[in-house]
Amino acid sequence: MSQFQQKVELIQSEVIAAGIVRLTLSAPDIAAAAVPGQFVMVQTAPGLDPLLRRPFSIHQVSSDGFLQILFKVVGRGTERLAQCRAGEHLSLLGPLGNGFALGESAHACLVGGGMGIAPMLFLASHFLRQSQVAVPPRVILGARNSEELVPLMGDFLDLGFEVLAATDDGSFGYHGLVTDVLKTLNLTSQSTVYSCGPRPMMAAIHHLCQNQHVPCQVSVETVMACGMGACLGCAVPLRAGGYAHACSDGPVFDAGELLWSL
């Protein structure tokens, strides 16, 4: 496994929607090694506060060495990152974790909710590049409202995907949950659902898939200190008892392996 600790240049910082920022970084080594579903740990400030790195899914990579992350400003670390300007350098650790298991499944369905949309773009691009896939994957994206969702959909549309949209307030697309949209699709055990989003959303998707015997992979979020399996801070309760570690065993898991009742 190739992993790197590098200071990389920030090429562009874009405010995609209110409080949602996309950073484009020149990180050829990490970009080349990354697979969809992996993440990077980013140092958000030069000093000792905030102290720990912050984990972000790899949103997209390009063949010319660029790597993007897409995040929402929720606290001190993301605030600092949002203030970084082109030309500054950021310390990155990555690519980290195990990405999505990309099988031969003919019918892939990508479901992203809120910031869980971030890793879905990299995954969608990956399917595009895989010429053997006959049916292009279906993409379901959900968010609170159109202001948040529409800007995030753009890249998927640009890649030629048809996006099934859902918003909590009905201001765009389906008025309701992504699971309701997912239900309308003709899922079979030949399909695979790839999902990332808030825990309640992923729990609902898991139950739906379980009932219909559809394989389902989820990318989970936990607090993380190291991102590399050293601190054991990122415990994820397992159905079989005990814990897995989101950073080194995940962040992508077979939904059936996890304990969802928690």
Partner 1 sequence: MEPVNVKMDELDLRVSIGNLELKNPVMTASGTFGYAREFESYVQLHRLGAVVVKGISLEPRAGNPPPRIFETACGMLNAIGLENVGVDRFISEKMPYLSALGVPVIVNILGDSVEEYRQLAERLAEAPGVAAIEVNISCPNVKKGGVAFGTDPQMAAAVTEAVKQSCQLPVIVKLSPNVTDVTLVAKAVEEAGADAVSLINTLIGMAIDLKSRRPRLANVIGGLSGPAIKPVALRMVYQVAQAVSIPIIGIGGIASAEDAMEFMLAGACAVQVGTASFVNPRACEHVLDGMVTYVREQKLESVRDLIGALRIG
Ligand X SMILES: Cc1cc2nc3c(=O)[nH]c(=O)nc-3n(C[C@H](O)[C@H](O)[C@H](O)COP(=O)(O)OP(=O)(O)OC[C@H]3O[C@@H](n4cnc5c(N)ncnc54)[C@H](O)[C@@H]3O)c2cc1C
Ligand Y SMILES: Cc1cc2nc3c(=O)[nH]c(=O)nc-3n(C[C@H](O)[C@H](O)[C@H](O)COP(=O)(O)O)c2cc1C
- Checking phi first, is residue 179 left (phi over 0); if not, alpha (psi -120 to 50) or beta? alpha
Q: Which of 231, 239, 243, 254 binds ligand Y (CB under 6 A)?
A: 231
Tell me the C-alpha distance between 125 and 120, whole Å. Answer: 9
Which of the 8 DSSP states describes residue 231?
A: S
Q: How far is the CB of 46 from ligand Y (least distance, A)?
A: 19
Q: Which of 51, 86, 128, 135 binds partner 1 (CB under 8 A)?
A: 51
Q: How far is the CB of 224 from a second copy (least distance, A)?
A: 20
Amino acid identity for residue 72 in this structure: K
CA distances from 228 to 4, 50, 96, 202, 247 (A): 12, 19, 7, 24, 6
For 173, residues 6+ apart whose C-beta sits below 8 A from its C-beta are 149, 164, 165, 166, 167
229 binds ligand FES (CB under 6 A): yes
Q: Which of ligand FES, a second copy, partner 1, none does 45 bind, CB closer than 5 to 8 A by kind? A: a second copy
Sign of CA dihedral 225, 226, 230, 232: positive
Q: Which of a second copy, ligand X, ligand Y, none does 107 bind, CB closer than 5 to 8 A by kind? A: none
Q: Which of ligand FES, ligand Y, a second copy, none does 22 bind, CB closer than 5 to 8 A by kind? A: none
The footprint of ligand FES (CB under 6 A) covers 224-227, 229-234, 245-248
Per CB under 6 A, residues contacting ligand Y are: 231, 233
| Contact set with partner 1 (CB under 8 A) | 1-7, 43, 48-53, 91, 93, 222-226, 228-237, 241-243, 248, 262
